[in-house]
């Protein structure tokens, strides 16, 4: 049973104090009894003397003096007794306190002794464990103090330097072991460098002399040793005997002298590395590339020899080879100085295990320069063709557009024939230049060349003359009954942004016939200024404009609150997918290609107007119907969407209850696409909002939006006939 020493000491102190108080009370009582007895004895003697004395012989005054003397003597005796008792009690008390203090000191000494014994045993156990670990290491391990004096080593190192046991090295230096004094100075210098910088020296090749006079090659690494305060107080060394390896490599080089001579003469880099990416062999071309000799490269890690990011890429590639039973060669690009290099890494496998790799390094600077020249020439050609494309397409767009408008007027037969000839001629010219220009645009894409020559016309409607939105029923709706003829008589506003006068005139004619209120901007800066002061329903944005192009203008307009959600339809002469992606990245909602076809443009504008009408009505609580309900081609799609809508919402709610956000995101994405296709943009908008909340893991927001979707579903149906 283990007892706490502090608890035992406290109990003994309590017993001692109780015994001391008991003795003090007893002695005090005895002293009081003694004083009283002495006083009574003196009093009795005085009384007896007073009675026995001859009253005639002794006067009254003398009697009183004698009585007082006896009383004083009694008091003195009593005080002396009290003093003696106090001295005895105090002396015993001091003795008892000294005894208690000595007892405490003895207990503390016993505790310190036991703790010291325990710590010593623990240190001995750790020392045995350390010796066991060090002895089990296959490499030689040693450690020295700040003066390069050996403090210990393992058996492997003792065997390497010819000692019978590890303890024999303690107190010695390299000068006592190494016959070559210069070599000993080098080792001490390395120790000082490691201790000064606290940076390890890794994989140094050293040559040692054995006791028999033979030399051995050691691959040595030295690490700093630090005390508890972080101060360096020595070094630890780890070394491996690579004499046989060096001998084998030398024999291989001698036996394959012709092969290595051929490799050395190659004007491309050759490097052989082991599975740890350490260089086994390399040729002079690669060594010269790194401004080193071949001997300096051997034993170094190829990843450390290459700068970022090639070193990291090589490390990852070789590590991948080590983890696989087989692998394909990998190729990386790197630049050293003025040379562009292509490095091919070929793995070497033996028994389905990576045994190393071969690196072929080729200077591709000439090819890179040729490629850059070709790309420059192609870029110049592309810019020229793009400029020509726009300059040709712009007038042709106006010719075909105005010809189309004239065909709708009441013309004579001869006038109608002339207009048709103009339109056909313009189409023929477009088909011819498409074979020359469009192919180049598909390969390279839109270059964003500014056409300053086309930016000379003045705007039809300056910024200061933007008309206020009128309230009248629009006319000539595009091919779907009369969808723009609203009961509230609202007229929808469209902003046309184009730096070519003829294009603005053509678009104005088309949109005004459909009943839209039209405003203009002749460049990106003017478009931003107009959009800051007037709310529009749709914006038609030319992409290639001088100054601020259409992409920049779109981003700026959407960054402001007034038209942040206004649909933007891009107008571009390019036909490449890359340009389409650029338009959507800038925030455009759709695009039309030049030359603009009237039916396609009017259909897109009409769809965006209908989408906004439905969203506004749904927010007001109106019944929700597809704006494509009058189109027979969409009847089946609309019915299927409405029929499956409740089940889709229920599945989304179930995914949310299970906190399966991945499944919920998939279903929201599907609903987003189906809603737009079936003519229900309100669901597209809400699904898009749910996707954004899923990315932020806002579960409460998602649940609120799903509840809103349930309410919308209850008001969704087919229009009444």
CATH number of 246-363: 3.30.450.20
Partners of 356 in the beta sheet? 348
* Residue 293's pLDDT band (cuts 50, 70, 90): confident
CA distances from 245 to 157, 250, 654 (A): 18, 8, 67
What architecture is the 137-241 domain classified under in CATH? 2-Layer Sandwich (3.30)
pLDDT at 202: 81
The DSSP annotation for 305-342 comes to HSPTTHHHHHHHHHHHHHHSSS---EEEEEEETTEEEE
Mean pLDDT of 480-498: 65
* Start-end of H helices in 621-677: 635-657, 661-677
Q: Which two tokens stand for residue 381?
A: 């050609």
Q: Which of 336, 322, 274 is nearest to 301 (CA)?
A: 274
How is the beta sheet containing 568-572 ordered, strand by strand?
A: 517-521, 493-497, 538-542, 568-572, 590-593
Q: How many whole angstroms separate alpha carbon 123 and alpha carbon 709?
A: 72
**Weakest mean pLDDT among 66-75, 223-232, 587-596:** 66-75
Under DSSP, the state recorded for 463 is G
Mean pLDDT of 163-167: 85
- The CATH class, in words, for 632-714 is mainly alpha
Mean pLDDT of 447-472: 33
Tens-place pLDDT, residues 704-714: 999 988 998 88
CA distances from 293 to 250, 264, 288, 635, 691 (A): 17, 12, 7, 79, 60
Mean pLDDT of 395-414: 69
pLDDT at 661: 87
pLDDT at 541: 93
Tens-place pLDDT, residues 1-50: 444 455 455 455 555 555 666 666 666 666 666 666 666 666 666 666 55
**Weakest mean pLDDT among 265-274, 391-400, 504-513, 613-622:** 391-400
Q: How many whole angstroms separate alpha carbon 238 and alpha carbon 207?
A: 14
Q: Is 642 helix (H, G, I), strand (E, B) or coil?
A: helix
Tens-place pLDDT, residues 326-374: 788 888 888 887 788 889 998 988 877 888 888 888 888 777 767 777 7
Tens-place pLDDT, residues 626-669: 888 888 888 888 888 888 889 989 999 998 898 888 888 888 88
pLDDT at 580: 82
pLDDT at 486: 46
Cβ burial of 481 (10 Å; 0-12, 13-18, 19+) is: exposed
pLDDT at 281: 84
Under 8 Å between Cβ of 588 and 569: yes
When computed from its CA atoms, the radius of gyration of the chain, rounded to whole angstroms, is 52
Q: Is the dihedral of CA 158, 164, 165, 166 positive or negative?
A: negative
What architecture is the 452-620 domain classified under in CATH? 3-Layer(aba) Sandwich (3.40)
For 334, list phi and psi in degrees, rounded to 5.
-150, 155
């Amino acid at each position: 049973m283990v007892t706490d020493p502090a608890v035992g000491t406290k109990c003994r102190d309590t017993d001692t104090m109780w015994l001391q108080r008991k003795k003090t009370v007893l002695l005090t009582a005895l002293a009081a009894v003694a004083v009283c007895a002495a006083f009574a004895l003196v009093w009795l003697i005085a009384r007896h003397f007073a009675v026995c004395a001859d009253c005639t012989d002794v006067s009254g005054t003398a009697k009183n003096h004698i009585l007082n003397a006896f009383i004083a003597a009694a008091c003195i005796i009593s005080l002396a007794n009290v003093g003696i008792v106090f001295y005895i009690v105090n002396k015993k008390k001091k003795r008892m306190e000294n005894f208690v203090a000595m007892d405490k000191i003895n207990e503390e000494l016993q505790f310190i002794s036991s703790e010291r014994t325990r710590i010593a045993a623990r240190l001995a156990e750790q020392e045995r464990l350390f010796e066991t670990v060090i002895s089990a290491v296959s490499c030689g391990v040693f450690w020295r103090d700040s003066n390069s004096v050996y403090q210990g080593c393992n058996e492997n190192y003792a065997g390497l330097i010819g000692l019978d046991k590890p303890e024999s090295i303690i107190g010695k230096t390299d000068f006592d072991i190494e016959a070559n004094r210069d070599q000993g100075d080098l080792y001490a210098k390395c120790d000082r460098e490691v201790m000064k910088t606290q940076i390890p020296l890794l994989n140094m090749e050293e040559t040692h002399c054995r006791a028999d006079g033979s030399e051995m090659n050691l691959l040595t690494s030295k690490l700093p040793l630090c005390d508890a305060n972080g101060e360096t107080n020595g070094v630890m060394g780890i070394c491996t005997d690579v004499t046989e390896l060096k001998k084998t490599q030398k024999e291989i080089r001698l036996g394959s002298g012709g092969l290595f001579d051929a490799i050395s003469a190659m004007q491309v880099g050759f490097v052989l590395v082991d599975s740890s990416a350490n260089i086994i062999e390399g040729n002079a071309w690669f060594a010269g590339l790194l401004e080193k000799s071949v001997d300096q490269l051997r034993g170094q890690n190829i990843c450390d020899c290459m700068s970022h990011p090639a070193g990291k890429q090589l490390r990852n590639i070789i590590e991948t080879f080590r983890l696989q039973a087989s692998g394909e060669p990998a190729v990386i690009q790197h630049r050293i100085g003025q040379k562009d290099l292509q490095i091919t890494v070929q793995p070497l496998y033996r028994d389905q295990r990576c045994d190393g790799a071969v690196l072929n390094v080729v200077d591709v600077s000439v090819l890179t320069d040729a490629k850059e020249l070709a790309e420059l020439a192609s870029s110049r050609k592309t810019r020229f063709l793009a400029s020509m494309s726009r300059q040709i397409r712009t007038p042709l767009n106006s010719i075909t557009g105005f010809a189309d408008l004239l065909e709708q007027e009441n013309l004579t037969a001869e006038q109608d024939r002339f207009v048709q000839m103009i339109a056909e001629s313009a189409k023929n010219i477009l088909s011819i230049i498409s074979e020359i220009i469009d192919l180049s645009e598909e390969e390279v894409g839109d270059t964003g060349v500014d056409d300053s020559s086309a930016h000379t016309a003045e705007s039809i409607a300056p910024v200061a003359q933007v008309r206020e939105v009128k309230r009248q029923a629009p006319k000539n709706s595009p091919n779907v009954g009369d969808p723009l003829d609203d009961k509230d008589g609202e007229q929808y506003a469209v902003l046309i942004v184009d730096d070519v006068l003829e294009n603005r005139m053509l678009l104005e004619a088309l949109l005004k016939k459909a009943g839209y209120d039209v405003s203009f901007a002749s460049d990106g800066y003017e478009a931003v200024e107009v959009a800051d002061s007037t709310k529009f329903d749709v914006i038609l944005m030319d992409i290639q404009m001088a100054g601020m192009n259409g992409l920049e203008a779109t981003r700026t307009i959407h960054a402001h609150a007034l038209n942040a959600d206004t649909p933007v339809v891009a107008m571009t002469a390019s036909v490449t997918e890359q340009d389409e992606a650029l338009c959507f990245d800038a925030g455009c909602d759709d695009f039309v290609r030049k030359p603009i076809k009237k039916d396609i443009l009017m259909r897109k504008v009409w769809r965006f107007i209908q989408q906004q009408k439905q969203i506004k009505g749904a927010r007001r609580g109106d019944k929700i119907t597809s704006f494509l309900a009058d189109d027979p081609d969409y009847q089946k799609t609309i019915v299927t969407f409405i029929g499956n809508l409740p089940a889709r919402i229920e599945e989304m709610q179930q995914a949310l209850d299970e906190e399966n956000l991945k499944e919920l995101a998939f279903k929201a994405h599907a609903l987003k696409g189906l809603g737009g296709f079936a003519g229900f943009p309100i669901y597209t908008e809400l699904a898009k909002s749910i996707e954004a909340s899923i990315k932020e893991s806002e579960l409460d927001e998602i649940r609120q939006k799903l509840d809103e979707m349930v309410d919308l579903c209850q008001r969704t149906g087919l229009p009444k006939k």
